[in-house]
Chain A
Amino acid sequence: AQSVTQPDIHITVSEGASLELRCNYSYGATPYLFWYVQSPGQGLQLLLKYFSGDTLVQGIKGFEAEFKRSQSSFNLRKPSVHWSDAAEYFCAVGATGGYNKLIFGAGTRLAVHP
């Protein structure tokens, strides 16, 4: 069965430091992969997506993610974190069976220290 694992439940970084959030998936074929961000009290907003092609994808708010097939990973990165990046981040994979369904990881909550 497909699944998405986000190994880190909570991460704390200092403002200006670099960030990497981990995501591993299980899926036989080339997956559709997504990162969403949820600010406190808000819905989910798409940060970036990978369908095919270049394995390094750029998203909004200065985020990027790299697809590594050999490691079944799709880690999210940002070179310099801002206080406004404090939020919960969800990795997701397109589910088999059609209808554009997504399978989400449990999320990583990011705290940013000044």
Chain B
Amino acid sequence: NAGVTQTPKFRILKIGQSMTLQCTQDMNHNYMYWYRQDPGMGLKLIYYSVGAGITDKGEVPNGYNVSRSTTEDFPLRLELAAPSQTSVYFCASTATGTSYEQYFGPGTRLTVT
């Protein structure tokens, strides 16, 4: 049982490039989330999904896109990378219901130069 996995662990992008951050969970969780973590700012929600085919914006969605074609996978897309997107990105998942307990992946450290 791997839990939540994320790839890559590290990435350096040039301004204007695009990339996809991968996230997979094997716990059959319906709810999945993408956060970014910046120093002194805690975690901010970028996008979330409540099931395959259903996604919605979080607090800081600009510059990102997501899709959810399966229960397991929730990729995050950066289309035109900007220095402001330099951050650590975390994917998380949780079961449907009222538990609110989220399980986190190990994160992707992205640098845009």
CA of A102 to CA of B43, assembled, Å: 9
Selected contact of A101 from candidates B41, B42, B48, B105, CB within 8 Å: B48
Cross-chain contact A106 with B40 (CB below 8 angstroms):
yes
**B residues less than 8 Å from A104 (CB atoms):** 42-44
CA of A43 to CA of B92, assembled, Å: 9
A42 interfacial by beta-carbon distance below 8 Å:
yes
Cross-chain contact B31 with A43 (CB below 8 angstroms):
no
Cross-chain contact B94 with A100 (CB below 8 angstroms):
yes
Interface residues in A1-47 by Cβ distance below 8 A to B read 4, 9, 32, 34, 36, 41-46
Cross-chain contact A100 with B98 (CB below 8 angstroms):
yes
Tally of chain A residues near chain B (CB < 8 A): 22
> What's the minimum C-beta distance from A105 to chain B, rounded to whole angstroms?
5
B74 interfacial by beta-carbon distance below 8 Å:
no
Interface residues in A53-88 by Cβ distance below 8 A to B read none
**A residues less than 8 Å from B48 (CB atoms):** 99, 101
Interface residues in B10-62 by Cβ distance below 8 A to A read 31, 33, 40-45, 48, 50, 56, 58
Supply 19 A–B pairs (Cβ within 8 Å), ascending by A: A9-B40, A36-B104, A41-B106, A43-B104, A43-B105, A43-B106, A44-B92, A90-B43, A99-B31, A99-B56, A100-B98, A101-B33, A102-B45, A102-B100, A104-B42, A104-B44, A106-B40, A106-B41, A106-B42
Contacts from B to A (Cβ < 8 Å) = 4, 31, 33, 40-45, 48, 50, 56, 58, 90, 92, 94, 96-107
A-B residue pairs, 4 tightest by C-beta? A43-B104, A104-B42, A94-B100, A44-B104
Contacts from A to B (Cβ < 8 Å) = 4, 9, 32, 34, 36, 41-46, 49, 90, 94, 99-102, 104-107
